[in-house]
Amino acid sequence: MAFQKYAATAFASAIALAAAFAAPVAEAKDWRGWNIHVEDYPVSHGMEAFMAEVTEKTGGEIKGKVFHQGVLGSQPDAIEQVRLGIIDFAEFSLGPWGPVAPEANVVSLPFIFKSVEQMHRAMDGAPGEAVSAGLEAKGVIALGYYDAGARSFYTSTGPITQPSDMEGRKIRVMNNDLFVDMIAAMGGNATPMAFAEVYQSIKTSVVDGAENNPPSYESTNHFEVAPYYSISEHLIIPEVLVIAKKTWDGLTPEQQEIVKEAGKNSTMLQRELWAKREMASMETVKAAGVEVNMIEDKAPFQEAMVPVYEKYLAANPDMKGIVELFQNFD
Ligand code: BDP
Protein backbone atom coordinates (compact mmCIF):
# COMPACT_ATOMS: atom_id res chain seq x y z
CA MET A 1 0.00 0.00 0.00
CA ALA A 2 2.74 2.33 1.08
CA PHE A 3 4.72 1.43 -2.02
CA GLN A 4 1.75 2.01 -4.28
CA LYS A 5 1.19 5.44 -2.80
CA TYR A 6 4.86 6.26 -3.24
CA ALA A 7 4.82 5.02 -6.82
CA ALA A 8 1.76 7.06 -7.63
CA THR A 9 3.29 10.21 -6.18
CA ALA A 10 6.57 9.62 -7.95
CA PHE A 11 4.74 9.04 -11.20
CA ALA A 12 2.74 12.22 -10.81
CA SER A 13 5.88 14.24 -10.09
CA ALA A 14 7.63 12.73 -13.08
CA ILE A 15 4.75 13.74 -15.31
CA ALA A 16 4.72 17.24 -13.90
CA LEU A 17 8.47 17.51 -14.44
CA ALA A 18 8.23 16.21 -17.99
CA ALA A 19 5.42 18.60 -18.75
CA ALA A 20 7.42 21.48 -17.37
CA PHE A 21 10.32 20.65 -19.69
CA ALA A 22 8.28 19.68 -22.70
CA ALA A 23 6.09 22.74 -22.87
CA PRO A 24 7.69 25.64 -21.07
CA VAL A 25 5.01 28.18 -20.29
CA ALA A 26 6.12 31.56 -21.67
CA GLU A 27 7.10 33.56 -18.64
CA ALA A 28 4.39 36.12 -18.05
CA LYS A 29 5.72 39.65 -18.00
CA ASP A 30 4.80 41.82 -15.08
CA TRP A 31 5.21 45.51 -15.87
CA ARG A 32 5.48 48.48 -13.59
CA GLY A 33 4.06 51.76 -14.79
CA TRP A 34 4.90 55.18 -13.36
CA ASN A 35 2.40 58.00 -13.14
CA ILE A 36 2.61 61.24 -11.20
CA HIS A 37 -1.12 61.95 -11.04
CA VAL A 38 -3.96 60.93 -8.75
CA GLU A 39 -6.01 57.92 -9.82
CA ASP A 40 -8.94 59.92 -11.13
CA TYR A 41 -7.14 61.93 -13.79
CA PRO A 42 -7.18 61.73 -17.62
CA VAL A 43 -3.54 60.55 -17.74
CA SER A 44 -4.25 57.85 -15.16
CA HIS A 45 -7.31 56.56 -17.02
CA GLY A 46 -5.33 56.55 -20.28
CA MET A 47 -2.54 54.50 -18.70
CA GLU A 48 -4.94 52.02 -17.10
CA ALA A 49 -6.71 51.55 -20.44
CA PHE A 50 -3.35 50.99 -22.13
CA MET A 51 -2.32 48.30 -19.64
CA ALA A 52 -5.72 46.60 -19.75
CA GLU A 53 -5.66 46.43 -23.56
CA VAL A 54 -2.13 45.01 -23.62
CA THR A 55 -3.06 42.33 -21.07
CA GLU A 56 -6.23 41.42 -22.89
CA LYS A 57 -4.74 41.26 -26.37
CA THR A 58 -1.67 39.30 -25.29
CA GLY A 59 -3.93 36.79 -23.56
CA GLY A 60 -2.36 37.61 -20.21
CA GLU A 61 1.26 37.21 -21.40
CA ILE A 62 1.85 40.78 -20.31
CA LYS A 63 0.37 42.00 -17.08
CA GLY A 64 1.18 45.09 -15.15
CA LYS A 65 0.28 47.73 -12.64
CA VAL A 66 0.19 51.49 -12.86
CA PHE A 67 1.62 53.13 -9.76
CA HIS A 68 -0.14 56.47 -9.40
CA GLN A 69 0.77 59.65 -7.53
CA GLY A 70 4.51 59.35 -8.06
CA VAL A 71 4.98 56.60 -5.47
CA LEU A 72 7.86 55.19 -7.56
CA GLY A 73 9.68 58.54 -7.50
CA SER A 74 9.69 62.11 -8.75
CA GLN A 75 9.53 62.84 -12.47
CA PRO A 76 13.31 63.31 -12.96
CA ASP A 77 13.96 60.08 -10.99
CA ALA A 78 11.38 58.17 -12.99
CA ILE A 79 12.94 59.35 -16.25
CA GLU A 80 16.20 57.69 -15.20
CA GLN A 81 14.43 54.53 -14.05
CA VAL A 82 12.57 54.11 -17.36
CA ARG A 83 15.77 54.70 -19.28
CA LEU A 84 17.32 51.84 -17.33
CA GLY A 85 14.26 49.62 -17.78
CA ILE A 86 13.61 49.44 -14.03
CA ILE A 87 10.22 50.98 -14.75
CA ASP A 88 8.61 49.51 -17.89
CA PHE A 89 6.26 52.29 -18.97
CA ALA A 90 5.35 55.78 -17.89
CA GLU A 91 3.62 59.00 -18.83
CA PHE A 92 5.64 62.18 -18.65
CA SER A 93 5.39 65.86 -19.31
CA LEU A 94 8.08 66.62 -21.89
CA GLY A 95 9.15 69.53 -19.63
CA PRO A 96 11.52 67.52 -17.42
CA TRP A 97 12.72 65.57 -20.48
CA GLY A 98 14.30 68.74 -21.88
CA PRO A 99 17.58 68.44 -19.96
CA VAL A 100 17.87 64.78 -21.11
CA ALA A 101 16.79 64.89 -24.77
CA PRO A 102 17.50 68.16 -26.63
CA GLU A 103 14.81 67.51 -29.27
CA ALA A 104 12.21 67.18 -26.51
CA ASN A 105 13.24 70.53 -25.09
CA VAL A 106 11.93 72.48 -28.07
CA VAL A 107 8.33 72.06 -26.86
CA SER A 108 9.27 73.75 -23.58
CA LEU A 109 10.04 77.04 -25.29
CA PRO A 110 7.33 79.49 -24.15
CA PHE A 111 4.70 80.19 -26.82
CA ILE A 112 6.29 77.78 -29.33
CA PHE A 113 2.82 76.50 -30.25
CA LYS A 114 0.10 78.78 -31.55
CA SER A 115 -2.68 76.73 -29.93
CA VAL A 116 -3.36 73.36 -28.34
CA GLU A 117 -4.84 72.22 -31.69
CA GLN A 118 -1.67 73.13 -33.52
CA MET A 119 0.32 71.29 -30.86
CA HIS A 120 -1.66 68.11 -31.54
CA ARG A 121 -1.18 68.36 -35.28
CA ALA A 122 2.53 68.98 -34.83
CA MET A 123 3.01 66.10 -32.39
CA ASP A 124 1.12 63.73 -34.69
CA GLY A 125 3.32 64.84 -37.62
CA ALA A 126 6.95 65.43 -38.49
CA PRO A 127 7.83 67.58 -35.43
CA GLY A 128 6.51 64.80 -33.17
CA GLU A 129 8.64 62.27 -35.03
CA ALA A 130 11.73 64.38 -34.38
CA VAL A 131 10.91 64.37 -30.65
CA SER A 132 10.28 60.61 -30.68
CA ALA A 133 13.67 60.03 -32.32
CA GLY A 134 15.30 62.15 -29.61
CA LEU A 135 13.55 60.13 -26.91
CA GLU A 136 14.48 56.82 -28.49
CA ALA A 137 18.12 57.85 -28.51
CA LYS A 138 17.77 58.20 -24.73
CA GLY A 139 16.25 54.79 -24.16
CA VAL A 140 12.47 55.15 -24.42
CA ILE A 141 9.92 54.52 -27.19
CA ALA A 142 7.12 57.09 -27.56
CA LEU A 143 3.71 55.42 -27.93
CA GLY A 144 1.57 58.54 -28.14
CA TYR A 145 1.40 62.19 -27.19
CA TYR A 146 -1.15 62.93 -24.52
CA ASP A 147 -2.79 66.30 -23.99
CA ALA A 148 -1.84 68.60 -21.14
CA GLY A 149 -3.51 71.77 -22.43
CA ALA A 150 -1.83 75.06 -21.65
CA ARG A 151 -0.11 76.17 -18.47
CA SER A 152 -0.91 79.44 -16.71
CA PHE A 153 0.38 81.18 -13.59
CA TYR A 154 -1.23 80.94 -10.18
CA THR A 155 -0.23 82.86 -7.13
CA SER A 156 -1.13 83.41 -3.51
CA THR A 157 -0.23 87.08 -3.61
CA GLY A 158 -2.46 88.74 -6.20
CA PRO A 159 -2.80 88.18 -9.95
CA ILE A 160 -0.28 88.42 -12.79
CA THR A 161 -1.66 90.72 -15.45
CA GLN A 162 1.56 91.78 -17.15
CA PRO A 163 5.15 90.47 -17.18
CA SER A 164 6.32 93.07 -14.65
CA ASP A 165 3.89 91.64 -12.06
CA MET A 166 6.41 88.82 -11.80
CA GLU A 167 9.03 91.13 -10.29
CA GLY A 168 10.19 89.95 -6.90
CA ARG A 169 8.00 86.87 -6.98
CA LYS A 170 9.20 83.35 -6.41
CA ILE A 171 7.61 80.84 -8.73
CA ARG A 172 7.93 77.07 -8.69
CA VAL A 173 8.82 75.55 -12.07
CA MET A 174 9.48 72.04 -13.35
CA ASN A 175 13.03 70.80 -13.51
CA ASN A 176 14.41 72.53 -16.64
CA ASP A 177 16.64 75.62 -16.99
CA LEU A 178 14.42 76.95 -19.75
CA PHE A 179 11.70 77.60 -17.18
CA VAL A 180 14.15 79.34 -14.88
CA ASP A 181 15.10 81.65 -17.77
CA MET A 182 11.43 82.17 -18.61
CA ILE A 183 10.64 83.49 -15.13
CA ALA A 184 13.86 85.50 -14.96
CA ALA A 185 12.97 87.20 -18.26
CA MET A 186 9.94 88.71 -16.48
CA GLY A 187 11.92 89.73 -13.42
CA GLY A 188 10.87 86.87 -11.14
CA ASN A 189 12.79 84.12 -9.37
CA ALA A 190 12.16 80.53 -10.35
CA THR A 191 12.55 77.58 -8.03
CA PRO A 192 12.69 74.16 -9.69
CA MET A 193 10.92 71.74 -7.38
CA ALA A 194 9.19 68.34 -7.43
CA PHE A 195 5.46 68.41 -8.15
CA ALA A 196 4.65 66.75 -4.82
CA GLU A 197 6.22 69.58 -2.84
CA VAL A 198 4.39 72.48 -4.43
CA TYR A 199 1.28 72.57 -2.24
CA GLN A 200 3.21 72.83 1.01
CA SER A 201 5.70 75.29 -0.45
CA ILE A 202 2.97 77.70 -1.48
CA LYS A 203 1.17 77.24 1.81
CA THR A 204 4.27 78.07 3.82
CA SER A 205 5.24 80.93 1.44
CA VAL A 206 8.47 79.25 0.32
CA VAL A 207 7.20 80.25 -3.12
CA ASP A 208 4.50 82.75 -4.14
CA GLY A 209 3.02 80.50 -6.75
CA ALA A 210 3.51 78.10 -9.62
CA GLU A 211 2.12 77.44 -13.08
CA ASN A 212 0.10 74.59 -14.50
CA ASN A 213 -2.92 73.59 -16.54
CA PRO A 214 -6.42 73.65 -14.96
CA PRO A 215 -6.65 69.89 -14.19
CA SER A 216 -3.32 69.85 -12.34
CA TYR A 217 -4.11 73.12 -10.54
CA GLU A 218 -7.37 71.58 -9.38
CA SER A 219 -6.43 67.91 -8.70
CA THR A 220 -3.50 68.90 -6.47
CA ASN A 221 -5.61 71.44 -4.55
CA HIS A 222 -3.05 74.13 -5.36
CA PHE A 223 -6.01 76.44 -5.93
CA GLU A 224 -6.71 76.38 -2.21
CA VAL A 225 -3.38 78.03 -1.41
CA ALA A 226 -2.90 80.08 -4.62
CA PRO A 227 -6.36 81.42 -5.51
CA TYR A 228 -5.30 83.85 -8.27
CA TYR A 229 -5.25 82.07 -11.64
CA SER A 230 -3.94 84.25 -14.47
CA ILE A 231 -4.61 82.73 -17.88
CA SER A 232 -1.30 83.38 -19.60
CA GLU A 233 -1.06 80.03 -21.44
CA HIS A 234 2.67 80.60 -21.76
CA LEU A 235 3.53 76.93 -22.12
CA ILE A 236 1.76 74.27 -24.15
CA ILE A 237 3.78 71.19 -23.29
CA PRO A 238 2.64 67.88 -24.69
CA GLU A 239 2.99 64.73 -22.63
CA VAL A 240 4.14 61.33 -23.74
CA LEU A 241 3.31 57.73 -23.00
CA VAL A 242 6.57 55.78 -23.23
CA ILE A 243 7.81 52.25 -22.85
CA ALA A 244 11.38 51.48 -21.82
CA LYS A 245 13.46 50.45 -24.83
CA LYS A 246 14.79 47.59 -22.76
CA THR A 247 11.25 46.31 -22.20
CA TRP A 248 10.31 46.91 -25.83
CA ASP A 249 13.32 44.97 -27.12
CA GLY A 250 12.22 41.95 -25.09
CA LEU A 251 8.86 41.74 -26.89
CA THR A 252 7.92 39.59 -29.87
CA PRO A 253 6.94 41.51 -33.04
CA GLU A 254 3.30 40.57 -32.35
CA GLN A 255 3.49 41.93 -28.84
CA GLN A 256 5.11 45.13 -30.14
CA GLU A 257 2.19 45.62 -32.53
CA ILE A 258 -0.29 45.18 -29.69
CA VAL A 259 1.60 47.65 -27.51
CA LYS A 260 1.73 50.24 -30.31
CA GLU A 261 -1.97 49.92 -31.00
CA ALA A 262 -2.87 50.12 -27.31
CA GLY A 263 -0.68 53.22 -27.06
CA LYS A 264 -2.60 54.89 -29.88
CA ASN A 265 -5.99 53.95 -28.44
CA SER A 266 -5.09 55.21 -24.99
CA THR A 267 -3.90 58.48 -26.52
CA MET A 268 -7.26 59.04 -28.18
CA LEU A 269 -9.07 58.23 -24.96
CA GLN A 270 -6.85 60.52 -22.89
CA ARG A 271 -7.38 63.46 -25.23
CA GLU A 272 -11.15 63.05 -25.00
CA LEU A 273 -11.07 62.80 -21.22
CA TRP A 274 -8.73 65.77 -21.09
CA ALA A 275 -11.11 68.13 -22.87
CA LYS A 276 -13.87 67.26 -20.41
CA ARG A 277 -11.71 67.46 -17.32
CA GLU A 278 -10.30 70.84 -18.31
CA MET A 279 -13.79 72.33 -18.29
CA ALA A 280 -14.79 70.55 -15.09
CA SER A 281 -11.63 71.73 -13.34
CA MET A 282 -12.30 75.35 -14.25
CA GLU A 283 -15.82 75.00 -12.84
CA THR A 284 -14.48 73.49 -9.62
CA VAL A 285 -11.90 76.18 -8.97
CA LYS A 286 -14.29 79.01 -9.82
CA ALA A 287 -16.91 77.54 -7.49
CA ALA A 288 -14.25 77.44 -4.78
CA GLY A 289 -13.76 81.18 -5.14
CA VAL A 290 -10.64 81.33 -7.32
CA GLU A 291 -10.18 84.65 -9.05
CA VAL A 292 -9.58 83.86 -12.70
CA ASN A 293 -8.18 86.65 -14.81
CA MET A 294 -7.98 86.22 -18.56
CA ILE A 295 -4.92 87.81 -20.08
CA GLU A 296 -6.42 88.88 -23.39
CA ASP A 297 -3.29 90.48 -24.78
CA LYS A 298 -0.47 88.00 -24.52
CA ALA A 299 1.90 90.05 -26.70
CA PRO A 300 3.82 91.59 -23.75
CA PHE A 301 4.49 88.10 -22.39
CA GLN A 302 5.57 86.84 -25.81
CA GLU A 303 7.87 89.82 -26.29
CA ALA A 304 9.44 89.21 -22.89
CA MET A 305 10.48 85.76 -24.11
CA VAL A 306 12.79 87.02 -26.88
CA PRO A 307 15.94 86.73 -24.71
CA VAL A 308 14.89 83.21 -23.67
CA TYR A 309 14.87 82.12 -27.33
CA GLU A 310 18.14 83.93 -28.02
CA LYS A 311 19.92 82.29 -25.13
CA TYR A 312 18.49 78.89 -25.99
CA LEU A 313 19.50 79.06 -29.65
CA ALA A 314 22.96 80.40 -28.81
CA ALA A 315 23.52 77.39 -26.54
CA ASN A 316 21.82 74.90 -28.91
CA PRO A 317 22.52 76.07 -32.47
CA ASP A 318 21.84 72.55 -33.78
CA MET A 319 18.21 72.82 -32.61
CA LYS A 320 17.43 75.79 -34.87
CA GLY A 321 16.01 73.55 -37.62
CA ILE A 322 13.68 71.75 -35.21
CA VAL A 323 12.52 75.01 -33.63
CA GLU A 324 11.61 76.28 -37.10
CA LEU A 325 9.93 72.98 -37.95
CA PHE A 326 7.62 73.51 -34.97
CA GLN A 327 7.05 77.21 -35.59
CA ASN A 328 6.16 76.72 -39.25
CA PHE A 329 3.94 73.69 -38.81
CA ASP A 330 0.30 74.53 -39.47
C1 BDP B 1 1.49 68.46 -14.82
C2 BDP B 1 2.07 67.35 -15.62
C3 BDP B 1 3.03 66.52 -14.81
C4 BDP B 1 4.05 67.42 -14.18
C5 BDP B 1 3.39 68.54 -13.44
C6 BDP B 1 4.40 69.50 -12.80
O7 BDP B 1 1.03 66.52 -16.11
O8 BDP B 1 3.64 65.55 -15.61
O9 BDP B 1 4.86 66.69 -13.31
O10 BDP B 1 2.53 69.26 -14.28
O11 BDP B 1 4.19 70.69 -12.84
O12 BDP B 1 0.67 69.25 -15.63
O13 BDP B 1 5.39 69.00 -12.24
Ligand 1 binding residues, C-beta < 6 A: 36, 75, 92-93, 148, 174, 195, 212-213, 216, 239
Is residue 18 domain-resident? no
Sorting pLDDT into bands at 50, 70 and 90, what band is 218?
very high
Q: Indicate the Cα dihedral angle 181, 187, 192, 194, nearest 10°.
A: -130
Do residues 72 and 89 both lie within one domain? yes
pLDDT band at 20 (very low <50, low <70, confident <90, very high): low
Burial of 57 (0-12, 13-18, 19+ CB in 10 A): middle
162 shares its domain with 300: yes
The CATH number for 259's domain is 3.40.190.170
Per-residue pLDDT tens over the stretch 86-96: 999 999 999 99
pLDDT tens digits, one per residue of 37-94: 999 999 999 999 999 999 999 999 999 999 999 999 999 999 999 999 999 999 999 9
What phi-psi label fits residue 160: left (phi over 0), alpha (psi between -120 and 50 degrees) or beta? beta
Average pLDDT (177-205) is 98
Ligand 1 nearest-atom number relative to CA 195: 13
10-19, 51-60, 188-197: least confidently modelled range = 10-19
List, for residues 228-246, the tens digit of each pLDDT value: 999 999 999 999 999 999 9
Determine the Cα–Cα distance for residues 68 and 274; give it in Å rounded to an integer: 17
Q: Note whether 124 and 264 are same-domain residues.
A: yes
When divided into structural domains, the chain yields a total of: 2
> Whose alpha carbon is nearest atom 2 of ligand 1?
93
Q: Which domain holds residue 69?
A: 28-147+238-279
Structural domain contains residue 23:
no
If asked whether residues 37 and 173 sit together in one domain, one would say no
Q: Does one domain contain both 53 and 133? A: yes
Task: For residue 28, name the pLDDT band (cuts at 50, 70, 90).
Answer: confident
Mean residue pLDDT of the chain comes to 94
Q: Does a structural domain hold residue 172?
A: yes
